[in-house]
Structure 1
């Protein structure tokens, strides 16, 4: 792409924007009204002012009525927003990206002075459906931001790590072994297992755990509510539940701050003065009910320990599914890259270190051109030095930075296998036709048309299968209803800019008497051609 580019990480809890001008990366920062410090985390939250009928976003949403779920996860659902204002979910996401445009305009630094947020690269969780992917891109473009490219979040984080750690030395075009990405954000843990072969970055396996930082925040709040109920012998349960629902957004925000603070201290308290005013209880109580719940680091470890274990088991399972025996994981996995804000939790760091030991986070042997990682907690672990991006950003900014770098560096997405079609004949003698070759770049918005003869004339229904050759399975199938005299079908392959493959067909000679096939819409595996600056 070789032009200045914004990369946006639309997160569950926080959104981050990076700008790359071809030489340096800068994070777009916004003033945190509570601390007075400029931060890269833009809260992914919306608040509705019921008096004026207006939506507020980011830090400005504090104090207003907020949807139950994060905007990121309700793209295809209307009910959380309709309960508040009747605003459709896609429209709300569009309004949020209008807010991001305003943030960029107001926070312009010298590095991106004059650069309007009109083009950007996005990233998505590995579990996003094709419908969610399209809904996100359409919502962003409705805000006047052209989606130049879209990547999976762990892929972007991986590329950011490669560029930051290895920018002073080339990367072997045939690096053996596996690179694992452990991308734990606010909503999910996304895992990607990759390797480098013939100058291409291949994603061999990706999977997700539907648990994230917001779930950890919710656990803290629930424990606090249980403690408060027990203090009052449960006769105030209904009042506590009412207060909880009224103050849920504030409580979760406070829990998030506690979770972060416990990285540097052993205990912290969840305080909420006048959680239930004395006049709100019938019969009235003598004094206001204050919430004061101590949270110990060791308690948090116990509360989220099961989630951490599930994440580690999923990581090992993904590595094994790329052909690595369980006993060889330590030797075959060259490094584990952390990304996402939740990955910053020291509890997660400690458990990963305990599980993988010095094989992963001590000196890396037999890898030329790769600098050794001395300890897991050393600076390379975070991939971004604190003096450059700020301590509170560290691993959480990897995805936004990777989005901008991938696009600006020319990290071209390519097919990882031959993709073609098979025309099925009534005699059971299919014949294949290759359309895309492994290693060829994606022809974004450049439809490819192929004409195929019908082997057995006189048939009224032609069955077409789409195959992914190197993977060895049929991905999709559709039928074309043609005129009995038809002897040629015309098949269209179209990869749109959202990286969705659409395949359709019709009769060539008698199109007016042909029923156009219903599109076969599918995802497909891709690799990335590494830019020359990163190669040996």
Structure 2
């Protein structure tokens, strides 16, 4: 987990989700989950662009059908990935917005904003969602916020973590720490759980956190004991979530529509139709968690043809059997990594909206011999809850010592690329942090004068399948036949997940080191600064539009008051002002000046009648 210096003052915790995001803050001795301007405690991770404005959250989500090609969602599935990544290409088939690959193979999202084609990186879109959460907290607290803890899936690699941190910087946030989502959920669980007398007497409790959200699955095994919350193992799938179930339903009904209506063209070529069908499938998926069957119905779906179909829970489960089988693989792997028998697990805690799918709960229940999963904590808010607690601790709140001893693990193996493109692991995954590990490497040529050390992370045997984190060179090593000169490589990872790698060849006394901060493939500082400036410009435009909308509302209300008087001149002024307002190019200052003019006229004419 990448970390930075502790912040000062109030800090917030943000769950940046694939489909929904949530923000919490520690206040009055407890966590407050902050509702947005619509009164909802979670906000769609959705951004839309129109001819006049940028919308974030509910506003973006609500106009998604009529403006589908300029409404962006699911960017968490893009962040930190390459455009040519097979998972990115697979997802792109279900997205109505346009996406291209840049010169660096990074995804670029293309939209039309205020009549101009604009390209945004996934980090910039994520920054807009983070900004919405920041502003939501600021409105609640009545003060500016700069410090935050942001959560990511436990199985995010370094590139994805750094990309998330970059998104925070673009949004004007000092991301104090990136923490794993199941770890945040475990913090929330440990704080909120009310132990029975028998449970309280146990020296420790073994808890499996099962976090299935819109786009990712995380599984962590956590041991909770007095003064310590220790993550024993964590694993998951960064590309498995509720969106995949929805995508399968969409594909199924596209095929059914084509068969029923003998259409030559595919619905997927019509972005608006695709979005409407997707919305209906999403509703049907949710309904099947409480009903045995439901309908998928869309009027004039495609080429004026209405679509109506039914789907049973059994059919839904059958069409997604492959996804359900993938749901349990991380559970088995997590227990093996933790060297823990499933009978030792005291509690299975469900987190994430997709754990409401009944088949998922049944699979967990069956795997653990009938043990009923725990649903005591709010699965939609638990991650933000835990992040808010961590944020409070980092800003100096010492009231909850149990959480000051959080022991997390390395989610992915760290190692060096060696001859033949092989990954030589130095720190295996699920090693508790902080940790220090050493490994010896030898020269591969006679009289070799230097050694290139490339640092990778991942679980594959070959470096081409893993993620490059950084590289450095050790020069001036002692001349000798190949295999004789030995270089000691030391990996040290601190509690924030910052990796320092050093190398020493003792005979020559040569040393070198590198701090891995995931600079490989990330934005330059110039890029970050440019995006921050642009984000400020977009924010200023948003604020101006809000002020203009408020000014129009105020003057229209005043015009209504004038029109309802019995004074003919005031009624005529009201009619004239209404026509004047039809000019769309008016700015806020002009509207406010006009309102003052009307107020003066109203006061003068009204007083003359008294």
Q: Given the two structures, how large is their TM-score scaled by the length of structure 2?
A: 0.59
1:494 to partner: Cα distance: 8.5
Q: Determine which of 354, 377, 382 is the counterpart of 2:375.
A: 382
> Aligned equivalents of 1:240 and 1:521: distance in 2?
44
User: CA contact under 8 A between 1:482 and 1:515: conserved in structure 2?
Assistant: no
Per the alignment, in what secondary structure is the counterpart of residue 211 of structure 1?
Answer: coil
Shift of 1:507: 11
Instruction: Give the gaps of 5 or more residues in structure 2.
Output: 1-5, 84-99, 101-106, 112-117, 393-399, 411-430, 437-446, 456-468, 480-486, 519-610
State how far apart, in whole Å, the 1-side matches of 2:315 and 2:40 are. Answer: 29
Q: 1:67: Cα distance to partner?
A: 6.3
| Residue 556 (structure 2) aligns with | none
Deviations 1:64-101 (A, max 9, x none): 32467622122235735443321233222222322223
- The reply on whether 1:353 has 2:365 as its aligned counterpart is yes
Equivalent pairs counted in the alignment come to 420
Q: SS in structure 1 opposite 2:79?
A: coil
**Partner in structure 1 of residue 173 of structure 2:** 145
Match of 1:75 in 2: 79
3-state SS in 1 of match to 2:136: helix
2:255 is matched with which residue? 226
SS at 2:368's partner residue?
helix
For residues 143 and 397 of structure 1, the distance between their equivalents in structure 2, rounded to whole angstroms, comes to 22
Contact 2:215 2:243 in 1 (8 A): yes
Deviation track 1:429-460 (CA, whole Å, cap 9, x = no partner) reads xxxxxxxxx999799xxxxxxxxxxxxxx995
CA distance in 1: counterparts of 2:319 and 2:122, whole angstroms: 32
> Using a 3 Å threshold, how does the CA distance of structure 1 residues 117 and 459 change in structure 2: closer, same or farther?
same
CA shift for structure 1 position 316: 2.6
Supply the distance in 2 between the matched residues of 1:246 and 1:465 (Cα, whole angstroms).
Answer: 46
CA deviations on 1:343-371 (whole Å, 9 max, x unpaired) are 1223322332233244x33xxxxxxxxxx
Match of 1:117 in 2: 145
For 2:295, which of 269, 272, 282 is the aligned residue? Answer: 269
For 1:433-512, list aligned pairs within 5 A: 461=450, 479-482=473-476, 499-504=497-502
C-alpha displacement at 1:465, in angstroms?
11
1:477–1:222 distance in 2 versus 1, CA, 3 Å: closer
Partner of 1:87: 120
1:60 matches 2:59: yes
Q: What's the CA shift for 1:118?
A: 2.1
Give a deviation string over 1:249-291, Cα, whole Å, max 9, x none.
34323322222222222332222212124xxxxxxxxxx3012
Q: Distance in 2 between matches of 1:439 and 1:92?
A: 33
Flag the structure with higher helix content.
Answer: 2
Cα distance in structure 1, aligned partners of 2:179 and 2:310: 41
Larger Rg: 2
Distance 1:60 1:98, change over 3 A: same
Structure 1 position 14, deviation (Å) = 0.7
5+ residue gaps in structure 1? Answer: 33-37, 278-287, 362-375, 385-393, 418-437, 444-457, 467-474, 523-536
In the alignment, which of 229, 243, 246 is matched to residue 214 of structure 1? Answer: 243
Query: Which secondary structure state, in structure 1, belongs to the residue aligned with residue 381 of structure 2?
Result: helix
Task: Work out whether residues 413 and 441 of structure 1, in 8 Å CA contact, stay in contact via their aligned partners in 2.
Answer: no
Rate the CA distance shift 1:119–1:68 in 2: closer, same or farther, 3 A. closer
3-state SS, counterpart of residue 321 of structure 1:
helix
**1:133/1:498 contact within 8 Å kept:** no
**1:335: which partner in 2?**
347
CA distance in 2 between counterparts of 1:240 and 1:459 reads 61
Contact 1:9 1:123 survives alignment (8 Å): yes
Say which SS state the counterpart of residue 15 (structure 1) adopts. Answer: strand
Aligned mates of 2:385, 2:224 — CA distance in 1: 20
Alpha-carbon distance change, 70 to 439 in structure 1, aligned in 2, over 3 angstroms = closer
Alpha-carbon separation, structure 2, partners of 1:138 and 1:494: 24
Find the counterpart in structure 1 of residue 537 from structure 2. Answer: none
Instruction: With the length of structure 1 as denominator, give the TM-score of the two structures.
Output: 0.67
Does residue 16 (structure 1) correspond to residue 22 (structure 2)? The answer is yes
What are the superposed Cα offsets for residues 389-436 of structure 1, whole Å, 9 maximum, x if unpaired? xxxxx312111111112342453555879xxxxxxxxxxxxxxxxxxx
In the alignment, is residue 102 of structure 1 matched against residue 118 of structure 2?
Answer: no
Secondary structure, in 3 states, of the residue corresponding to 2:291? Answer: coil
Quote the offset at 1:39 in angstroms.
Answer: 2.1
Q: Deviations over 1:111-161 (max 9, x none)?
A: xx3243322111111221111111111221221111122211111111211
Structure 1 residue 10: deviation in Å?
0.6
Please say which of residues 136-145 and 163-172 is displaced more in the overlay: 163-172
Q: 1:423 matched to which residue of 2? A: none
Cα 1:483/1:318, change in 2 over 3 Å: closer
State the alpha-carbon separation in 2 of the partners of residues 4 and 442 from structure 1: 31
